[in-house]
Amino acid sequence: MGLDCDQAEQAIRPTTTDKTSFFTGCDLIIQRKFKAKFHIMTSTVVYEGNLRTVCTHLKSGTEIQTDAPLDNQGLAERFSPSDLVATALGSCMLTIMGIKARDMEVDLTDTKIEVEKIMASDPRRIGGINLTFHFPEILQVDEKQKTILERAANTCPVIHSIHPDIVVNVIFNWNPSVITLKI
């Protein structure tokens, strides 16, 4: 998408009274002369009451529902928001591995991750995340491929967004051997 000079001038100096871009989810930021980057709103979160929310992905319409955990006045009938953080880490790592595996013509279908979230207190927060990858027994990969896939997992954007005080332990359970990583 190209910008003409009038549009670029307006984008460089947005009006301070125009807040519609926040609510429509479309922010225009000029990074370099005539090059624009759009930030599109990803989702909405609606509070249902009773410590529950419904999160809607805007592009697909899919929903995730959350509930507060039992130890924080909830019913624990749905993912808690902190469960989603830990789960997002596993999902992100496996997705990045999947991209690299596809490039290598390796099929990671049926790979499973066990996610353990450990809460800390004062203040209440995620203190640790343990991820254990279980690869299908039929998966045939050599040591070089394992190393490439493990390194790919550690490039996921979520792991680089996790606060450094959160202890993340990752175990790659390649059948029959087990490889443990401390991050």
Higher pLDDT, 13 or 83: 83
CATH number of 81-182: 3.30.300.20
Average pLDDT on 81-99 reads 98
pLDDT value of position 32: 47
Residue 56 phi/psi, 5-degree rounding, is: -115, 125
Q: Tell me the percentage of the chain whose pLDDT exceeds 90.
A: 73
Band (pLDDT 50/70/90 cuts) for residue 28 is very low
> 50 has which bridge partners?
none
Mean of the per-residue pLDDT values of the chain: 83
Please choose, from the candidates 164, 156, 96, the residue with its C-alpha nearest in 3D space to the C-alpha of residue 127: 164
**Residue 175's pLDDT is what?**
81
């909830």: which residue's tokens? Answer: 74
The structural domains of the chain, with segments of one domain joined by +, span 5-40, 43-72, 81-182
Task: Give me the mean pLDDT over the 174-179 stretch.
Answer: 67
Residues 6 or more apart in contact with residue 19 via CB below 8 angstroms = none
